């Protein structure tokens, strides 16, 4: 028997998309936490933030999530995770195999389950949105949100004014360039110099990125590779335990701060 579809009017499709998307934007014009970047540290942070009861929005400039996970190691579809991050893998139900001193996960499953568990925990993820600046207040200096633009507009080079989203905390999880902290450091007196990461020294990078994860200025936090950019730490390649542990740590710091 052939399928029967009721009459669909194209205008109704448009209304359904625009009306429900607009409802989300109105809802998330104010959040507890905005996480910028849907890579491993950002998605990990989002899950634990949402589970702690904080209204959490994740913004990602690309039309996909996972950051640097998808390419694995030089396009080999595997990533390495230290045993210290095993509990986080288990929380996200990410399967892995043991290989000598490490755990090894499939890159596609790794990125998919990070996103799924973050969304299931209650975090809202919106793709195709760039953060081009922050909102700040003085006396005392504090970051109070972000300025956003469609990534397509940014890529096109058109001059279109951004919109604003307020939050109680902003997490820079943008990776190697620490984009949010970098723009804030240029425009407001953060007393922070984003010098960028150093060359590879994996064991030092993994350890120190977790240790130095945290608040950069009141209301603005660094997680993942953004920590390396801010603190001039080495890079480490396709090993992701530090990213997971950094994301969880920043979530715990923020949850404690905002609930104090």
Q: What value does the mean pLDDT take over residues 194-213?
A: 95
Residue 1 has pLDDT above 80, yes or no: no
Q: Please tell me the predicted confidence (pLDDT) of residue 148.
A: 98
pLDDT tier at 190 (50, 70, 90 boundaries)? confident
Note whether 37 and 69 are within 8 A (CB): no
> What's residue 40's pLDDT?
98
Question: Cα 156 to chain center, whole Å?
Answer: 24
* pLDDT range class, residue 193, cuts 50, 70, 90: confident
Residue 3 has pLDDT above 80, yes or no: no
Cβ atoms of 146 and 59 closer than 8 Å = yes
pLDDT at 4 over 80: no
Spatial neighbors of 45 by CB under 8 A, at least 6 apart, are 35, 171, 173, 223, 247, 248, 250, 251, 254
pLDDT in tens, 55-67: 999 999 999 999 9
With 0.85 as the threshold, say if the pTM is over it.
yes
Provide mean pLDDT across the span 148-173.
97
Dump pLDDT digits (tens) for 74-96: 999 999 999 999 999 999 999 99
- The 3-class secondary structure across the chain, one letter per residue, is CCCCCCCCCHHHHHHHHHHHHHHHHHHCCEEEEEEECCCHHHHHHHHHHHHCCCCEEEEECCCCCCCCCCCCECCECEEEEEHHHHHHHHHCCCCCEEECCEEEEEHHHHHHHHHHHHHHHCCEEEECEEEEEEEEECCCCEEEEEEEEEHHHHHHCCCCCCEEEEEEEEEECCCCCCHHHHHHHHHCCCCCCCCCCECCCHHHHHHHHHHHCEEEECCEEECCHHHHHHHCCECCCCECHHHHHHHHHHHHHHHHHHCC
pLDDT at 7 exceeding the cut of 80: no
| Residue keyed to tokens 């396009």 | 75
Res. 6 pLDDT band, cuts 50 70 90: low
Percent of the chain with pLDDT over 70: 97
């Amino acid at each position: 028997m052939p399928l029967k579809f009721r009459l669909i009017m194209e205008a109704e499709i448009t209304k359904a998309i625009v009306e429900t998307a607009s409802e989300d934007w109105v809802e998330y014009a104010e959040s507890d936490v905005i996480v910028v970047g849907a890579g491993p540290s950002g998605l990990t942070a989002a899950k634990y933030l949402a589970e702690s009861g904080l209204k959490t929005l994740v913004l990602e400039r690309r039309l996909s999530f996972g950051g640097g996970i998808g390419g694995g190691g030089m396009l080999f579809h595997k990533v390495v995770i230290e045993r210290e991050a095993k509990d986080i893998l288990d929380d996200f139900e990410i399967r892995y195999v043991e290989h000598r001193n490490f755990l090894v996960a499939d890159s596609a499953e790794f990125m998919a389950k990070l996103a799924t568990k973050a969304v299931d925990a209650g975090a809202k993820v919106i793709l195709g949105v760039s953060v081009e600046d922050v909102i700040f207040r003085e006396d005392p200096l504090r970051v109070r949100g972000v300025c956003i633009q469609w990534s397509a507009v940014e890529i096109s080079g058109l001059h279109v004014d951004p919109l604003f989203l307020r939050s109680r905390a902003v997490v820079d999880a943008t990776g190697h360039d620490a984009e949010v902290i970098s723009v804030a450091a240029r425009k407001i007196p953060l007393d922070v110099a984003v010098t960028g990461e150093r060359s590879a020294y994996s064991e030092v990078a993994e350890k120190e990125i977790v240790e130095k994860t945290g608040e950069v200025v009141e209301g603005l936090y660094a997680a993942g590779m953004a920590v390396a950019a801010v603190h001039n730490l080495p890079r480490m390649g396709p090993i992701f335990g530090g990213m997971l542990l950094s994301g969880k740590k920043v979530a715990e710091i923020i949850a404690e701060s905002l609930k104090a």
